[in-house]
């Protein structure tokens, strides 16, 4: 039975939550804390699987509570459930909260959110890696891209320019999508292009975000680290472009096309979580990103899928990230973003290798099940063009 802790400084809010969630008592062991100090005492006495807290509280605010929990209880999923509070209070939670919900919150939305993260924890039994991923506040960006974004935040850059900068960086893309996919903006958004996500955030909120610690950050100094991250970024951009074109050729569904591009950009995000680039080379080798010399219990793809789900990204994107190396695990039998990203990643990797052979990287059983083996030659050409910067007419 999962242990859930709800925190609010208003007793009537806690009473309302108890009433709202009464029918979950057989599934969850629920506790209720009146404020941050009591919550910390309870957390330190016995671990909880999920923490749901208000952002604005006297004494210990939500952001401070979440930061302490992130450090001391990293395996705990951290969710903000907050009503009318200042933008600054909410912004301080961005680096430490996994998901955001707005008050008043529909009971089914709250139940579904908590149930999803509980199922996620059940599906991921590598507790050490789970805690590592859950403790992540932000991911490293290419230094030059980070500096460009900070300059844009300090100046008068258009939102379009900002969106293009963020869309070119894996870590920045992941963080912005976390915000728009959860309730940070009031109502969660589905899969959207980065330019649209930045429009929804708005110029004022973007500048405030850029000034917050633990939202965007450059990779720690080190020539090798910077080179490896640049290489990963080039690969991710090529896969994103190829996956989008593959989806366009296979389906007219706009949501699948957008999910394919976004998931293509983020499919290696687990590499940034699992292996500090400043200390590991093998994980970033072009032919072994997901197979380091001493493989961990959890591969980079699974780590990325866990983070994407933890951050509330759409299910189609989560599936494509988590299963792109072994899509047969998904059980899917129709074309989806997973198909596009799996094929794009295999052909882009092969195009950059000397032999150019993708046979060992493709899951032919899965592709036959989906019914797209006859499209592989066409898609190989798309990926080759994306890999080497060509434009297909």
Q: Are residues 93 and 175 in the same domain?
A: no
**DSSP reduced 3-state for 238:** helix
Q: Are residues 252 and 173 in the same domain?
A: no
Q: Give me the pLDDT at residue 319, please.
A: 96
Q: At what angle do helices 315-323 and 254-266 cross, to 10 degrees?
A: 40
Last residue of a domain, one of 185, 217, 249: 217
**Residue 367 falls inside a structural domain:** yes
**Residue 264 falls inside a structural domain:** yes
Last residue of a domain, one of 195, 217, 239: 217
- Indicate which CATH number applies to the domain containing 235: 1.10.3210
**Residue 21 falls inside a structural domain:** yes
- Using only the alpha carbons of the chain, give its radius of gyration: 21
Beta-bridge partners for 101:
81
pLDDT truncated to tens, each residue of the chain (393 aa)? 899 999 999 999 999 999 999 999 999 999 999 999 999 999 999 999 999 999 989 989 899 999 999 999 999 999 999 876 677 778 888 889 999 998 888 899 999 999 999 999 998 888 888 999 999 988 999 999 999 999 999 988 888 899 899 999 999 999 999 988 876 766 666 667 888 888 888 888 888 888 888 889 998 876 677 888 999 999 999 999 999 999 999 998 999 999 999 999 999 999 998 545 443 333 433 333 343 333 444 588 999 999 999 999 999 999 999 999 999 988 888 999 999 999 999 999 988 876 667 778 899 999 999 999 999 999 999 998 888 765 433
Q: Are residues 172 and 282 in the same domain?
A: no
Q: Which H or E element spans position 32? A: strand 28-33
Is 303:295 a contact under the CB 8 Å cutoff? no
Q: Are residues 378 and 272 in the same domain?
A: yes
Q: Are residues 193 and 266 in the same domain?
A: no
Q: Which domain holds residue 47?
A: 2-122
Q: Are residues 30 and 78 in the same domain?
A: yes
Q: Give me the pLDDT at residue 185, please.
A: 67
Q: Give me the pLDDT at residue 83, please.
A: 75
- Indicate which CATH number applies to the domain containing 55: 3.40.50.2300
**Residue 392 falls inside a structural domain:** no
Q: Give me the pLDDT at residue 291, please.
A: 37
**DSSP reduced 3-state for 386:** helix
**Residue 161 falls inside a structural domain:** yes
Q: Are residues 319 and 334 in the same domain?
A: yes
Last residue of a domain, one of 173, 192, 217: 217
Q: Are residues 212 and 232 in the same domain?
A: no
Q: Tell me the residue length of the chain.
A: 393
How many domains is the chain built from? 3
Q: Taking the CA atoms of 287, 291, 292 and 293 in sequence, report the sign of the dihedral they define.
A: negative
Q: Give me the pLDDT at residue 352, please.
A: 80
Q: How far apart are CA 348 and CA 356, in angstroms?
A: 9
Is 242 exposed, middle or buried (CB count within 10 Å of its CB: 0-12, 13-18, 19+)? Answer: buried
Is 28:2 a contact under the CB 8 Å cutoff? yes
Q: Are residues 190 and 59 in the same domain?
A: no
Q: Give me the pLDDT at residue 151, please.
A: 95
Q: Are residues 361 and 337 in the same domain?
A: yes
Is 101:81 a contact under the CB 8 Å cutoff? yes
Return the structure tokens found at 295: 């493989």
**Residue 210 falls inside a structural domain:** yes
**Residue 133 falls inside a structural domain:** no
Beta-bridge partners for 140:
217
Q: Are residues 157 and 212 in the same domain?
A: yes
Q: Give me the pLDDT at residue 265, please.
A: 96
Q: Are residues 228 and 341 in the same domain?
A: yes
**DSSP reduced 3-state for 31:** strand
**Residue 172 falls inside a structural domain:** yes
């Amino acid at each position: 039975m999962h242990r859930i802790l709800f925190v609010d400084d208003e007793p009537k809010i806690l009473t309302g939550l108890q009433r709202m969630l009464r029918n979950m008592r057989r599934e969850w062991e629920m506790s209720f804390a009146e404020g941050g100090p009591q919550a910390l005492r309870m957390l330190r006495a016995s671990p909880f699987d999920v923490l749901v807290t208000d952002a604005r509280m006297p004494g210990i605010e939500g952001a401070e509570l979440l930061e302490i929990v992130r450090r001391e209880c990293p395996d705990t999923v951290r969710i903000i459930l907050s009503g009318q509070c200042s933008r600054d209070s909410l912004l301080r939670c961005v680096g430490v909260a996994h998901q955001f919900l707005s008050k008043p919150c529909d009971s089914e939305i709250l139940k579904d959110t908590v149930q999803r993260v509980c199922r996620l924890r059940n599906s991921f039994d590598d507790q050490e890696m789970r805690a590592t991923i859950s403790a992540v506040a932000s991911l490293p960006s290419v230094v030059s891209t980070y500096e460009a974004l900070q300059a844009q935040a300090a100046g008068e850059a258009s939102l379009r320019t900002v969106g293009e900068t963020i869309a070119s960086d894996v870590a920045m893309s992941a963080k912005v999508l976390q915000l728009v996919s959860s309730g940070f903006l009031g109502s969660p958004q589905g899969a959207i292009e980065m330019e649209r996500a930045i429009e929804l955030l708005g110029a004022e909120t973007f500048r405030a975000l850029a000034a917050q610690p633990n939202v965007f950050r450059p990779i720690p100094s080190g020539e090798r680290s910077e080179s490896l991250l640049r290489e990963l970024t080039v690969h991710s951009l090529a896969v994103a472009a190829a996956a989008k074109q593959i989806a366009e050729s296979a389906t007219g569904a706009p949501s699948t096309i957008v999910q394919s591009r976004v998931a293509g950009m983020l499919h290696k995000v687990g590499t940034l979580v699992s292996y500090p680039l400043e200390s590991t080379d093998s994980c970033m080798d072009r032919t072994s990103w997901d197979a380091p010399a001493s493989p961990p219990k959890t591969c980079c793809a699974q780590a990325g899928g866990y983070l994407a789900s933890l951050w509330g990204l759409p299910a189609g994107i989560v599936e494509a990230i988590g299963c792109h190396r072994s899509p047969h695990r998904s059980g899917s039998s129709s074309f989806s973003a997973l198909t596009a990203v799996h094929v794009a990643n295999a052909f882009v990797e092969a195009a950059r290798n000397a032999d150019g052979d993708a046979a060992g990287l493709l899951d032919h059983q899965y592709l036959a099940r989906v019914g797209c083996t006859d499209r592989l030659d066409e898609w190989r050409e798309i990926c080759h063009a994306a890999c080497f910067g060509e434009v297909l007419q």
